[in-house]
């Protein structure tokens, strides 16, 4: 019998929350005990936040590249914690790090709101497991114990996204209210990290264009098939279709895009005033074209989120001929990747000068050796294909709406599990996502895993959720709404893969926890010393 027959969703939800909360609490306590002093970028962030706390609002460290939203948030939080007279209490690293733990659980609430606003039918059996997995994502987990800007930046983007979604579905004064809130939180996101302009203005602006077009000229007139029913040629056809229908309703488009245009105008004004995008240390953060940065994203997603891909891989293996990309197309994209790698692989001085970060070892062993970087080109393409396929149920007969019901038995005695998704991702979304991701990544010469955090999160939020079953099931099938059912062969290997795929949500959470244990252990208990800085401990980190 399935686990859900013995344990109610409420109990499972409480158990998962207890696991996630206790792990974050333990991580924070260990970091504060073993690394009590500011470490790495905290050396800049913590003194700046302390300066604000002490009323020195005009002081600014020229090495800090991002705006001060996190420091202001910490100021407000600690005012409520310690009273309205900052002079009576001195903030240390541990107190400031608590800000990120608070932000992490604000992110949990924001993710729940995002799911509710999308009007998807919430699967009771999933008990918010996707949201708990996101909170345990290794980068979010790791930096929840330190004083970095990433969690605040991610939260602001999710909130702005939620207000845009609410505004796109509302009418009248409510629509105007949500648009204003989207603008305000878009500005907040820019006050935490400048590159968020590509998400709160470009990405959401692109989605708004598609939404306005479908409302204005009719959904049936726009060529925008679900990604599960798409061929490569559809991408160019969708672009042409959107462009053709945009011109006749251009005034309405501009009216609906006013929050996005206001954000772009604000960002442009900041760049002119500041003389560039980054606030400080401009000599080491010069924008430059770095095409392979986009390619690096896809192995990043597959490495961290392979459990979320298992259901799609299982479906693809069920019908290789129908679901695999055409050889000519795969070869063509591989050639493009090789050309990008050959002409535009950049190695920032910081990458090879700092062996405390994992990218140092990736570049040393996989990117810099002759010819090895070219062998990675087909891996980039295969991972990119997997990431895109995962956004829509992989079936030749998939439809725009996938049933959320689960049949406990079928005529042949097998159990059936289906994707819990009220709609599916369309080609226009993938195009807008890829464009926004490229703009946010290819202008950065430095490779840092934290740069991939928001693209990963947007992708992960749009991967269809899967209903879980128990180990007793024979195999699962994906059914289209009233259409053909694609069943799998009953070979032993197929049964194993299908059974494992049905537990994808649980495997994902366990995988993240395993990575967190390993990276946390290395950071806390395996420090080392540089010969040029004797007596000072260095630690491995993202």
β-bridge mates for residue 420, sequence order: 465
**How many helices (H) does the chain have, and how many strands (E)?**
24, 6
Residue 502: which residues within 8 A CB-CB, separation 6 or more?
311, 417, 466, 468, 469, 473, 476
520-529's contacts with Cβ under 8 Å and 24+ in sequence apart are: 520/27, 520/30, 520/142, 523/31, 523/35, 523/142, 524/30, 524/31, 524/34, 524/35, 525/34
The burial of 531, by beta-carbon neighbours within 10 Å (0-12 exposed, 13-18 middle, 19 or more buried), is given as exposed
- Residue given tokens 């994707």 in the structure block: 419
Beta-strand pair 485-486/537-538: unpaired
Beta-strand pair 465-466/419-420: antiparallel
Handedness of CA 264, 265, 266, 268 (dihedral sign): positive
Say if CB 418 and CB 403 are below 8 A apart.
yes
Say if CB 453 and CB 148 are below 8 A apart.
no
* Distance, CA of 405 to CA of 413 (rounded, Å): 17
pLDDT for the residue 468: 46
pLDDT for the residue 326: 81
pLDDT, averaged in runs of 10, over the chain (542 residues)? 57 81 93 94 95 92 92 92 75 93 94 83 60 93 95 97 93 93 97 95 96 83 85 88 88 93 96 86 75 94 93 69 76 94 86 88 86 92 92 48 32 41 76 95 89 96 67 36 42 70 85 96 94 89 92
DSSP one-letter string for 317-356 = HHTHHHHSPPHHHHHHHHHHHHHHHHHH----HHHHH-TT
Say if CB 527 and CB 537 are below 8 A apart.
yes
* Distance, CA of 331 to CA of 436 (rounded, Å): 25
Kindly give the interhelix angle for 292-318 and 327-344, rounded to the nearest 10 degrees: 160
Say if CB 169 and CB 82 are below 8 A apart.
no
- Residue given tokens 């290997």 in the structure block: 493
CA 122 from chain centre, in angstroms, equals 20
DSSP one-letter string for 475-539 = ---EE-TTS-EEPPP--HHHHHHHHHHHTHHHHHHHHHHHHHHHHHHHHHH--EE-TTSTT-EE-
Closest by CA position to 497, among listed 266, 272, 275, 316? 316
Distances (CA, A) of 265 to 74, 211, 268, 439, 450: 28, 22, 5, 17, 26
DSSP assigned state of 464: P
Closest by CA position to 358, among listed 280, 448, 423, 488? 448
Phi, psi of 201 (to 5 degrees): -115, -55
When computed from its CA atoms, the radius of gyration of the chain, rounded to whole angstroms, is: 24
Tokens of 24: 């974050």
pLDDT for the residue 187: 97
* Annotated domain spans of the chain: 9-145, 148-286, 288-403+421-469
* Distance, CA of 104 to CA of 136 (rounded, Å): 10
The burial of 131, by beta-carbon neighbours within 10 Å (0-12 exposed, 13-18 middle, 19 or more buried), is given as buried
Say if CB 482 and CB 105 are below 8 A apart.
no
* Distance, CA of 358 to CA of 151 (rounded, Å): 20
pLDDT for the residue 476: 39
pLDDT for the residue 35: 95
pLDDT for the residue 346: 85
- Residue given tokens 């009233």 in the structure block: 482
CA dihedral 346, 352, 358, 362 (to 10 degrees): 50
Phi, psi of 509 (to 5 degrees): -65, -45
């Amino acid at each position: 019998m399935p686990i859900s027959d013995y344990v109610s969703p409420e109990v499972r939800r409480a158990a998962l929350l207890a696991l996630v909360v206790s792990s974050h609490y333990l991580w924070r306590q260990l970091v504060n005990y073993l690394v009590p002093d500011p470490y790495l970028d905290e050396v800049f962030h913590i003194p700046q936040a302390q300066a604000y706390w002490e009323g020195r609002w005009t002081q600014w460290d020229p090495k800090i590249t991002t705006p001060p939203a996190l420091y202001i948030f910490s100021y407000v939080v600690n005012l409520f914690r310690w009273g309205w007279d900052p002079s009576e209490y001195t903030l240390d690293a541990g107190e400031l790090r608590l800000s990120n733990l608070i932000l992490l659980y604000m992110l949990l609430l924001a993710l729940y709101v995002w799911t509710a606003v999308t009007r998807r039918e919430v699967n009771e059996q999933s008990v918010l497991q996707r949201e708990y997995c996101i909170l345990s994502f290794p980068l979010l987990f790791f930096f929840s114990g330190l004083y970095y800007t990433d969690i605040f930046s991610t939260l602001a983007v999710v909130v702005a996204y939620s207000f845009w979604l609410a505004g796109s579905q509302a009418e009248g004064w409510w629509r105007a209210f949500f648009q204003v809130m989207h603008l305000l939180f878009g500005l907040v996101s820019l006050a935490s990290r400048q590159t968020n302009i590509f998400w709160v203005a470009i990405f959401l602006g692109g989605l708004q264009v598609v939404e306005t077009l479908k409302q204005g000229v009719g959904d049936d007139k726009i060529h925008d098939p679900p990604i599960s029913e798409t061929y490569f040629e559809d991408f160019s056809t969708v672009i042409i279709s959107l462009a053709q229908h945009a011109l006749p309703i251009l005034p309405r488009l501009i009216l609906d895009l006013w929050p996005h245009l206001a954000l772009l105008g604000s960002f442009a004004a900041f760049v002119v005033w500041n003389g560039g995008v980054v606030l400080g240390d401009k000599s080491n953060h010069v924008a430059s074209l770095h095409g392979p940065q986009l390619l690096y994203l896809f192995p990043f997603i597959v490495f961290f989120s392979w459990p979320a891909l298992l259901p799609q891989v299982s479906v693809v293996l069920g019908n290789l001929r129908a679901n695999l990309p055409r050889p000519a197309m795969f070869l063509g994209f591989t050639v493009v990747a090789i050309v990008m790698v050959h002409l535009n692989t950049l190695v920032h001085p910081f990458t090879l000068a700092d062996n405390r970060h994992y990218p140092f070892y990736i570049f040393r062993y996989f990117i810099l050796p002759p010819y090895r970087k070219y062998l990675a080109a087909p891996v980039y393409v295969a991972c990119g294909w997997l990431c895109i396929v995962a956004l829509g149920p992989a079936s030749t007969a998939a439809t725009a709406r996938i049933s959320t019901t689960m049949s406990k038995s079928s005529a042949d005695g097998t159990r059936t599990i289906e994707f819990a998704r009220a709609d599916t991702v369309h080609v226009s979304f993938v195009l807008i996502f890829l464009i926004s991701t490229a703009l946010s990544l290819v202008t950065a010469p430095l490779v840092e895993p934290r740069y991939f955090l928001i693209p990963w999160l947007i992708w992960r939020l749009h991967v269809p959720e899967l209903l879980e079953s128990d180990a007793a099931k024979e195999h699962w099938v994906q059914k289209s709404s009233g259409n053909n059912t694609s069943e799998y062969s009953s070979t032993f290997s197929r049964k194993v893969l299908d059974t494992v795929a049905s537990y994808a949500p649980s495997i994902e959470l366990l995988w993240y926890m395993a990575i967190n244990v390993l990276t946390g252990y290395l950071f806390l208990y395996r420090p080392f010393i540089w010969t040029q800085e004797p007596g000072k401990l260095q630690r491995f980190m993202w």
